[in-house]
Structure formats: C-alpha cells, structure tokens
Amino acid sequence: MDSKGAILVVTAFLNMFMSATLSKRLVCIVLLAARIKHDEVATILGICSKTVKMIQIKLDLKETSDLLKISGGGRKRKTANVEEEIVNEICDNQYHSRQQIADKISEKWGISLSISSVGELLKRNGIKLLKCGSLPAKADPSAQRKFFEETLQPLMERARNKEVSLLFVDASHFVMGCDFLGRVYGKVRHYVRTCSGRKRYNVLGALNFVTKSLLTVTNDTYITATQVCEMLLKISREYQGKAIYMVLDNASYQKCRIVTDLAKKLGIHLIYIPPYSPNLNLIERLWKFVKAELRKKYYSDFRIFVNKIDSITESTAKEHKAAVDRLISEKVQLFDELVPKQDNPHVCSVGRCQMPLVA
C-alpha cells in the first residue's frame, strides 16, 4: 500500500469516531506537520487548497482550538419557527403514518416536507410510533388503586417475607388453529394448512407470586366450578400448614357458593380483584408469555400442541423462571394516572409518565 492509500485508511478509521470533516482536519494537521506541500495535502484528502492554507494559518497562530470545532452551518430548517407547534399537534392528536403528519403540516402551516424529513423531525423530538395500550371501558381506576395499595401490595410484601403463600389464579383457553401459526422470514407470505374444527385446551392455573411455581387443572371441554374446587384441593395439599391467599377475577364459577364454602373449609382466603381489572391478576402476563412461545411453531397435532403447553407451564420455576420473574413482580399497571386527550384516547399525565408500567 502506498503512502496515499495508508493516509486514506487512517482517515476512514477516524470517521468511525467523528465526522468526516473533523477527521480530515486532523489528518491534514499531521501532514502539514510532516512538511507535506499544501497542494499535495489537498489532493490526497480531496479538499480545497484554500482550506489547507486556512488550517496552516491557524496552526501558525496557535489557534488550534478552532480547528477542532464544527460550526452548525447549513440551511435553516423549514420548521424551525413552528416546530414546537407541530410537535404539540402530533402529540395531541392521532396520526398513524408519516404521510398523515406531512399532509397536516402542509395544510396547517403551508410547509411541504418529504416523508424522510418528517421522520427526522420525529426522531429529533423523541416521538416514536408506539403501540396503543388498552383501557377497559368499565374499569374503575380509583378502585384499582385502592385495591392495589390496601390489599394486594401488603400481601405481596408478606409473601416476600414468607408470612403467607400468595397465588394468582385464572384460566386460559388455548385454541389450536390460526392463532398459533408459525412465523418465517421470506419475500412472499407462506400459507400452511390449519386443523379442522376448533380444538381447545383449557388450563386453570395458580401461580405462586414468589417461587413462580404453577399448579394447573386442565381439560379440553370447559372450566367450571368443579375445576376450581379441584384446584382448591390441590393448593391445600401443596401448601399444607401455610396461610394461603388466592387472587381471582369475578367469573361466576369462581364466586359461586360451592367454591366459597370449600375455600372456607380449607382455610384458603379468596381475594377478588375489582371488576374489569385483568391488570391486577398477574397470571394474565404468564398466559401472554405462553402464547408467545406457542407462536414460534406451527402445530398440526393436538397432542403435540397440548404437550408443548404443559412443558411451558411446568417449567415456570425452572427453565423459564428468569423470563417469568421479569413479568411477575410488584410493578402493576394502574390507570388513574392517565388523562383524557380526546373522547377516546388517554395518555400518561404530565410528570408521571416515567413510572414503570408493565403490560
């Protein structure tokens, strides 16, 4: 490699850590210090000879600090005077694409922006395309907050201190079919055969808040009070001699008399979450995890489908414990910090958006 090639390699290396302009200036300074002629330096680096002379003058005057600065320069952005207004417009309304934003900017401010320019504007202001969260229409945020702070949070603390066994109980229904088609990369969409009918595998689970171990009662028909009673007996045997608290939703088969009477007889405390509050029953996150694992592969045989579900649920305290630990913690999503922006959408209230929320 000749000397010119070596210089270009060094310049390219410096470009990995700084701007092209600054890297060329540094190499230019080294070449000038080595007494290379101005015209040769300009030719090697592909810069103007006047620039090389300016750098030489700065070096002679020992004004090297100016050489290490890059001025802002460039043209003024089209949106410079109204960018804050544009950002407020985007945040206060619902835009689903960059083209919609570009059209609005053109309509309201008379500024024509390309799709890529809109993307730069969004990135510059920290605006991202975010998936909307769901807010149950009939949920009572204040009731959820009260339940969490007065009932659930103290139970979590007691469970951490091994004073009680805290279990989150719920049923999930896994339907074999299109919901669990595999995903593969490719240039065209792949189609695979799905099973005829709607075979369903029901799992009633009781997840230990601390150990992440899971007890299950399963069938391929329906979950009823019979299965809930079976679960109560199973829990009673597993946690014999311990104070047991079960967190459940308000499904009728979990609140009927046969269930409450058996729970009382076994000394198990049933804690019902407020209506329309699935966010307070942490086992819901486990079911979402299980379904995500199922989507990694297509299942053509119901027995294999069932065996896969069982293998995942049986390993919540083993192979999958690290993942389940991240999902099941003291962090609970609450909605009383949301404020309405329009008739339907809600967003985090100002100053409290950084509170960790877990879906």
Mean pLDDT, 10 residues at a time, the chain of 359 residues? 77 82 87 88 86 87 74 70 92 89 94 92 90 80 94 96 96 78 71 69 96 96 96 96 96 96 97 94 94 80 91 92 90 80 62 38
| 243, amino acid identity | A
What separation in angstroms does the CA of 264 have from each of 151, 208, 268? 19, 20, 6
- Look at the pTM and tell me if it is higher than 0.75: no
Q: How far apart are CA 202 and CA 227, in angstroms?
A: 10
Helices (H), 161-300: 225-238, 252-255, 257-266, 283-294
- Per 3-state DSSP, the chain is made up of helix, strand and coil in percentages (nearest 5) of 45, 10, 40
3-class SS at 296? coil
CB 251 within 8 A of CB 285: no
| 258, amino acid identity | I
Q: Which two tokens stand for residue 300?
A: 């053509």
